[in-house]
Amino acid sequence: MDAFSEMVIGAVDSAKSSIVKIETYKNQNGKRIPQGTGSGFFFSSDGYLFTNSHVIHGADRIRVMLFDGENYEATLVGKDADSDLAVLKSDAKNFHTARLGDSNDLRIGQFVIAIGNPYGFQHTVTTGVVSALQRTLRSTTGRLMDNIVQTDAALNPGNSGGPLINTSGEVIGVNSAAIPGAQGLCFAISINTAKTIAAQLIRFGKVKRAYLGISSQQVDFVPKLAHYHDLKNKRALFVVKVEPNSPAQTAGVKDGDFVVAFNDIPIESSDDLFRMLTEEKIGIFQHLTVVRNDQKLDVRVTPVESRQRA
């Protein structure tokens, strides 16, 4: 067997027993009606699973099918429609926990593997490369999701919630969406974002996040500009859009600004900023450092609590 095939098989073998098929049901007129299917994967030994929020939206009952064909009930721990992530809990037995990687280590062109249940076909494997990083994608609630991994590994309905893994079998993304009618335009939520959100979903059942109202894209920061302003940043967040009537707009942040620090702590990725926009920052002045043209500006911004969407 060729080395390429052995690499794919090895990665799949190390991850496959953590992956489940998710079946959802709706109660209607006293009957339990099948609603849809999707994918998910165990990320803890005590039965917590990742999937997408849209996979389990509106479900009255959730069941998971393991790799060996065994079926178990699952309960919803919490979901966040703004990031299209949900955490489930199951009493399933005989599963393995997925190994979670570091999505900050991803590189464009890196080989990746998607595993899921497209159209109900259990444990389907597709391969591709990382096409782009730090994409922005609009969720079903209308909110913009940052730090999205773009790949050309084929995704179809039913893949949602399954893992995107690297050649070591580590999960580096949660498969989320494909563009209907397009070829090779598929997207996954970075695993670093998912890990941060999971901690809140398990604790609160929802995500309590502070909201600024900017959509951004990670870019390399010009070394000359960093040196001129005495900044340590190698990367920064380029502000693609400032949402109308948002805290960022009120504070004077503009499209085209480079966000380089939050409360004097360097910001180099959307995950960096997300981790800092915690509950205790809501309603309190924060300092956002931006570079605009050749000026470094300290902007005072007051985050508000992000409204939970259905």
Q: Catalytic positions, please?
A: 54, 84, 160
Count of CB atoms within 10 A of residue 43's CB?
Answer: 22
Q: For residues 195 and 12, give the distance between their C-alpha atoms in angstroms, rounded to a whole number.
A: 21
Copy the structure tokens of residue 243: 């949402």
Backbone angle region of 8, left / alpha / beta, with phi > 0 → left and psi within -120 to 50 → alpha: alpha
Q: Which long-range contacts (CB under 8 A, 24 or more apart) does 141-146 make?
A: 141/81, 141/82, 141/309, 141/310, 142/309, 143/82, 143/309, 144/215, 144/241, 145/82, 145/83, 145/84, 145/189, 146/215, 146/216, 146/217, 146/270, 146/274
Count of CB atoms within 10 A of residue 2's CB?
Answer: 6
Q: For residues 73 and 276, give the distance between their C-alpha atoms in angstroms, rounded to a whole number.
A: 35
Maximum Cα–Cα distance for the chain, whole Å?
Answer: 69
Count of CB atoms within 10 A of residue 77's CB?
Answer: 18
> Partners of 200 in the beta sheet?
none
Residues contacting 182, CB < 8 A, separation 6+: none
Closest CA to 117 of 58, 179, 41: 41
Q: For residues 174 and 163, give the distance between their C-alpha atoms in angstroms, rounded to a whole number.
A: 5
Q: For residues 218 and 236, give the distance between their C-alpha atoms in angstroms, rounded to a whole number.
A: 6
Let me know the angle formed at the C-alpha of 103 by 243 and 12, rounded to the nearest 5 degrees.
130
